[in-house]
Amino acid sequence: MEIKILEYFLAIAQEKSISAAARKLHVTQPTLSRQLKVLEEDLGTELFVRNNHELVITPAGQLYQKRSEQIIYLIEQTNKDVRTLNAHNLIGTISIGCTQTNIADFMADVISRFHSKFPSVKIDVYDLSVDDIKMYLDQRVLDVGFIMRPAEIEKYA
């Protein structure tokens, strides 16, 4: 699948209209309609329900939207990291999820020391629930997760 299809889908989801999305993307409305139809046929489900003059996203469409956003973010981040690659430096982004706990001082110290050694590495810290941390680790959206209660962690070790 081409990334352009994901971008088309996301524009339709944002605009809630094929014609508005076509204007935004500078493509023709029939082209966009055809691409959406092919996508829905490939997936075997409707991503939108046509309601008067507006498209309403279905539950399957909502899932597809969320995952498409993640895919595009990862592609953009990867492209950015590759463009700025320096053979003598570690670069990239580390995504960390943690719960609201007393870990803030620990995190600040670790991040500060890491950043002083690897200034080209960006660190994103997200305040999440334990369940979200586990889900995002499973989906490889997070690189590291910190939680403060007993949990089954064998598959993450």
Distance CA 89, CA 87 (A): 6
Sorted by where each begins, the domain ranges of the chain are 3-65, 87-156
Query: How do 54-57 and 121-127 pair as beta strands?
Result: unpaired
> Residue 156: what pLDDT?
59
Domain 87-156, architecture per CATH: 3-Layer(aba) Sandwich (3.40)
Please compute the mean of the pLDDT values over residues 78-84 and round it to a whole number: 75
49-79: b or e for each residue (b if 16 or more CB lie within 10 Å)?
Answer: eeeeeebebeeebeebbeebeeeeeeeeeee
Work out the pLDDT band at 20, boundaries 50, 70, 90. Answer: very high
- Please give the class, per CATH, of domain 3-65: mainly alpha
Q: What is the phi/psi pair of residue 89, to 5°?
A: -130, 145
Mean of pLDDT values over 8-17: 95
pLDDT in tens, 91-145: 788 888 888 765 767 778 888 888 887 788 888 888 888 888 888 898 889 988 8
Averaged pLDDT of the chain: 85
Compute the distance between CA of residue 37 and CA of residue 114 in angstroms, rounded to an integer. Answer: 48
**Cβ neighbours of residue 61 closer than 8 Å, sequence gap 6 or more:** 13, 46, 47, 48
* pLDDT at residue 17, rounded to an integer: 93
| Overall average pLDDT of the 20-27 stretch | 94
Tell me, what amino acid is at 150? P
DSSP state of 60: H
Q: What is the pLDDT of residue 130?
A: 83
Report pTM: 0.56
